[in-house]
Amino acid sequence: MLVNQTYRHVSQSPTLPGTAPPQDEFDVAALYETPLSLGSAPAVSLDEKLRKAYFWIVNHAIISPHYDLEFAEGPGASYHLGDSKARLSLPSGQSYSSFVLVPLLTFATRRRCLLVGGPGRGKTASAILMGMLAGYPLRDVRRAMQHGHPQLTISDMLGTPLPGDLIKAERLADIDVAWRTWLGMRVKIVDEYNRIPTRTQSALLTLMSDGYAEVFDQIYESADSAWYLTANDDSGGGTYQVIEALKDRIDVVVHALAFNSRFLGELQERVEQRLRPEEVVPPEIVFTEAEHDRMHAEILRVPLPKEVRRRLEFFAAQFELLEPAGEQFEYRTKDTANLAGVDVHLLSASETGRDRLADLGAQTLTGLSVRSLQSVLTYAKALAYFRGRPEVGLDDLASVLPFVLHDKLKPNDQSPSFDEPGQRPYRTDRVSWIRSLFERACAEYDRLDLDVHDPVGDLLAEFELGLDDVGETEVERRLGRIESLLAEWSRDRKLYGHVYDDALALKYLHQRYVNYRSWLRWKK
Amino acid sequence: MEEVTPFLKALAAHRDRYNAQFRLARHRSKNLDANAFLEHLRVFVSPIVNAAGGDPIEVTDALMDLSLATHGRLPVSLHRVLLNQARFVGMDPARVSVALANALHHLESEPGTTTHKWITYLEYYSRSLETVESLLDLGVVLAWVCGLAALRESALDVASRLAPGTLRGFTFTDDVDQLRADPWWSPTNRGLRIVRKLGAFRGFGGTFTRPPTVFLHEGRLHATDGAHTWRVHADAYGGALRRADNATPQHQAPTLTLSRDGAVSCNGESRVFRQLAGATSWTSWSNTLAVTTPWTHSIMFVAHS
């Protein structure tokens, strides 16, 4: 009898029970293709292949016995331990380790991931494994990895002009550049990026954000890649301060969690037996360039239902409003204060009327950028794809938010909310803080019953149907509804972030209808 | 002084990688013994690599993967098969070695199959073959003829690709359509006759906990013992039961009929089979009648040719 369980073998399909139909017919394929399989075994969908890659990494490569990305399929148990009543939950659904899954989703979507944590926690090893998943030989992945250090120059990182050309050339265009091979790879690793000098960081920024490198007026168009940057200190420490623009280009931040001492035996075996999992990544979980492209396209096609998107809209709306920052309605934002170099906390402290404990916006110094929202959408789709879900669910969205917004949503440490006993840990635990913000936003969304009663949503939906054949009488009716809604809010409601966004959306609609009405009158 | 064989060259070229692979395999399988595995490489892998031709590193890689996947416990019969088919292993090492190992596994796992016959026939009829595809086609058809009844449809699909005379060598006909039309065809047997008994009491190593009953679902034969349901594959070469719990009985006009006293009738011809008297269920399609009785855990098949 053949046995199909060794270190090199990946989990058998389906990795998510219930996602693959039972096989009724015994076919030629079954005669030759099971129970042992070839590395290039066909008929495995790419999401299943991605799950196999995940399970191979957590089972064999990285000792990360953490299941911090929790999913429920029915009621689950939880226990409170210690004086602080620390809650330990036992999820009822298949749950995952963020330290493995988030980099894997970055690989699938070709985004940019920052791995943070103390030295020797497996950050670089995790990044190398991602390079192996792209099919590169281990030696190439290691050679292509850029190591940040204070003497790293742009030429070291990008390429060197050919010495002969430097002497002979009469114009910059005559100088050929020997580009570094890592620029063309689908997985790019920059180790200890916070030790790179500021000038070299700028070149890295161009490469990461715009996809090209420039040396001596020569341009290298870089391949669309998954980026992995590591840093021992996520608060910008190291030899050089990381420039904000570079930080902003990072889509997702993930922590290397602490080593669980119960797994020291596993570590001992690896040391004694000189085990290097990255040397024997099974071919079944290696993605060709075509598969990588196809997987990315499939991820982007995962639908995001309107109901889920509305929750994200409502959540995102909480953070930008800062009433004292401006006089004109559109400029009453934290961005206005930050651009003016004024302390957001000082301005927010002068606000009156809103409950500063309940107001989620009071807990942050910044709002959410378009780039960060794009990252949220991409990672939510990628997680739904990974979980074999037909569309993005609220749990997918809630799970990726803390990692995408980790460095995007700056906490206002002086907010009184953080002095509440239950919220004090949020000063240091940013993942839980963002998770709690989203949960509270969802609770408020439910309290306002916005799934059912959403007059602004109704007006936007009505406008989305188009203006063909809409007469002036109808336009007047719609303008009247917009104005009466704003009048109602001006009487009854305090200005919260979501109301601010809704009011600006109503102004937008109002302006579109006014322009259309002018056109109708001119046409007559 | 030991001759430097292709196998030894491959080992020398990729010593570190093979050692790392072995260490990882032993990490997961504490019982994997280094000395036993070395002996396995010497006795099992080495002769095949040396006989295969092609790129010895590719062949060694493939056989090393296969050996580690099975903890170095590959059956002796596989060694004979791979050695017999070494030139095909040399052409496409990973594919051929894994495919033949899998095929052998299925044959050895299915009760009633004749693995030895499959190995012998494969050795004999593959001598004139040139490509891996033709070898695998031959292997499928032979696996069916040697008792893997569930392979019938797919084997018949590839049977026409075999060289003229090869199919006749083990089925006594070149006519694939005839084999497809009559699952019980043989050059000698004619008329109504019992052609197969399939299934047994689970307590004696069979499948059914109680005497089963049979029915058709989507034109295919199924059997149930009340607790579970199986798809039934049966023809002149073998029989097999595969779990199919979603099947439900569907009515289909009978082609052969069975009376209470065991008389089977078809196209005006009738014959009494006493062992079929008092049947608990029966169903028929094409030229086949499947019958169950309270006295046995087997399904009995009557054919009319």
Among B14, B23, B157, most A C-beta atoms within 10 A, so best to mutate, is: B23
- B244 and A24 within 8 Å at the Cβ level: the answer is yes
Six token digits for residue B33: 């013994």
- Specify if A367 maps to a domain: yes
- What does the block give as tokens for A224? 């669309």
Q: Nearest Cβ partner of A26 from B26, B71, B150?
A: B150
> What integer is the mean pLDDT of A430-453?
93
Residue of A3, A10, A23, A31 for testing the chain B interface, max B β-carbons within 10 Å: A31
Kindly state whether residue A41 falls inside one of the protein's structural domains.
no
Residue to mutate among A3, A4, A7, with most B CBs inside 10 A, is: A7
Give the residue from A447, A470, A504 where a domain finishes.
A447
Is B245 within 8 Å of B234 (Cβ atoms)? no
Range of the structural domain that residue A262 is part of: 98-300
For residues A177-199, average pLDDT? 89
Per-residue model confidence (pLDDT) at position A5: 38
CATH number of residue A272's parent domain: 3.40.50.300
Q: Which residue has the tokens 């709002």?
A: A367
DSSP letters of A214-271? EETTEEEEPPP-EEEEEES-TTS-SSSPPPHHHHHH--EEEE-PPPPGGGHHHHHHHH
A110 and A126 co-located in one domain: yes
Q: Which of B25, B95, B143 is nearest residue A31 as measured by Cβ atoms?
A: B143
Nearest to A377 by CA among A460, A318, A312, A431: A312
The answer to whether residues A210 and A274 belong to one domain is: yes
Residue B280 forms contact with A (CB below 8 Å): no
Which among B101, B148, B240 has the least Cβ separation from residue A2?
Answer: B101
Residue A9: list chain B partners with CB under 8 A.
Answer: 69
Instruction: Establish if A47 belongs to a structural domain.
Output: no
Residue A14 has pLDDT above 70, yes or no: no
**A115 and A143: one domain?**
yes
How high is the pLDDT of residue A320?
92
- Judged against a pLDDT cut of 50, whether residue A20 lies above it is answered with no
Residue A351 has pLDDT above 80, yes or no: no
Is the pLDDT at A42 greater than 80, yes or no? no
| Angle, CA of B132, B137 and B143, to the nearest 5° | 125
Q: What is the pLDDT of residues B80-127, one digit of tens each?
A: 999 999 999 999 999 999 999 999 999 998 888 999 999 999 999 999
Residues A244 and A143 in one domain: yes
Query: Residue A284: its pLDDT value, please?
Result: 84
Cβ distance of A279 and B17 shorter than 8 Å: yes
A34 contacts in B (CB within 8 Å)? 102
Mean pLDDT of A66-75: 90
Q: A211 and A153, same structural domain?
A: yes
The predicted structure's pLDDT at residue A241: 83
B23 touches chain A (CB under 8 A): yes
| Residue B225 pLDDT greater than 90, yes or no | yes
pLDDT in tens, B175-216: 999 999 999 998 888 889 999 999 999 988 899 999 999 999
Using CA atoms, how far apart are residues B236 and B124, in angstroms rounded to an integer?
Answer: 23
- For residue A81, tell me if it sits in a domain: no
* Record: contact A32-B73, CB cut-off 8 A: no
Q: Kindly give, in sequence order, each residue whose CB lies less than 8 Å from that of residue B141, ignoring residues fewer than 6 positions away.
A: B155, B158, B159, B162, B167
Residue pLDDT, tens place only, A82-106: 888 888 999 999 999 999 999 999 9
Domain membership of residue A370 (yes or no) is yes
Q: How far apart are CA B54 and CA B56, in angstroms?
A: 6
Q: What is the mean pLDDT of chain A?
A: 86
Query: Which is more confident, B255 or A61?
Result: B255
Tell me the count of A-B CB pairs closer than 8 A.
112
Rg (CA), chain B: 24
Closest CA–CA distance from residue A45 to any residue of chain B (Å): 21
String of DSSP letters for A133-150: HTT--HHHHHHHPEEP-T
Of the two residues A137 and B26, the one the predictor is more confident about is A137
* pLDDT tier, A477 (very low <50, low <70, confident <90, very high otherwise): very high
B50 to chain A nearest CA, in Å?
Answer: 22
pLDDT at A511: 96
Same domain, A231 and A349: no
Q: How far apart are the first and last CA of chain A?
A: 87
**Is A113 among the domain residues?**
yes
B157 vs A contacts (CB less than 8 Å): 28
Averaged confidence pLDDT in chain B: 91
Same domain, A274 and A338: no
Whether A409 is covered by a domain: the verdict is yes
CB contact under 8 A, B73 and A280: no
Q: What angle do CA B179, B181, B182 make, to 5 degrees?
A: 70
**B20/A30 touch (CB, cutoff 8 Å), yes or no:** no
How many domains is chain A built from?
Answer: 3
pLDDT band at A22 (very low <50, low <70, confident <90, very high): very low
Residue of A2, A31, A275 with shortest CB distance to B23: A275
Cα of B66 to nearest chain A Cα, Å: 8
Q: Are residues A173 and A289 in the same domain?
A: yes
> Could you give the CA distance from residue B303 to residue A204 in angstroms, rounded to a whole number?
77
Mean pLDDT of A162-169: 73
**Average confidence (pLDDT) over A398-424:** 89
Tokens of A43: 């008929």
What pLDDT, on the 0 to 100 scale, is given for residue A28?
58
| In a shared domain, residues A385 and A483 | no
Q: Name the residue type at position A195.
A: R
**Count of beta carbons in the 10 Å neighbourhood of residue B155:** 25
Domain holding A397: CATH number? 1.10.8
**Chain A residues in contact with chain B using a Cβ-Cβ cutoff of 8 Å:** 1-9, 24-28, 30-39, 60, 269-270, 273-277, 279-280
Is A223 in the same domain as A339?
no
Work out the angle between the directed axes of helices A455-464 and A497-523 (0-180°, nearest 10): 40
Out of A397, A424, A447, a domain closes at A447
CB B151 to CB A1 under 8 A? no
Closest C-alpha to A379, from A251, A497, A248, A499? A251
Residues A311 and A296 in one domain: no
Query: Interior CA angle at A250 toward A247 and A256, to 5°?
Result: 100
Q: Are residues A336 and A418 in the same domain?
A: yes
A13, pLDDT greater than 90: no
Distance from the Cα of B106 to chain A's closest Cα (Å) equals 7
| CA nearest neighbour of B283 among B214, B208, B199 | B214
Query: What pLDDT does A263 receive?
Result: 86
Can you state the percent helix, strand and coil of chain A, rounding each to 5?
A: 50, 10, 40
pLDDT at A7 over 50: no
A417 inside domain: yes
Structure tokens at B52: 């295969």
Tell me the chain A residues in contact with residue B30 when contact means C-beta distances shorter than 8 Å.
Answer: none
Interchain contact, A275 vs B231, CB within 8 Å:
no
The pLDDT score that the predictor gives to residue A505 is: 96
Question: Which among A425, A447, A469 is the end of a domain?
Answer: A447
- Each residue's pLDDT tens digit, A223-267: 789 999 998 864 545 667 888 888 889 999 999 988 888 888 888
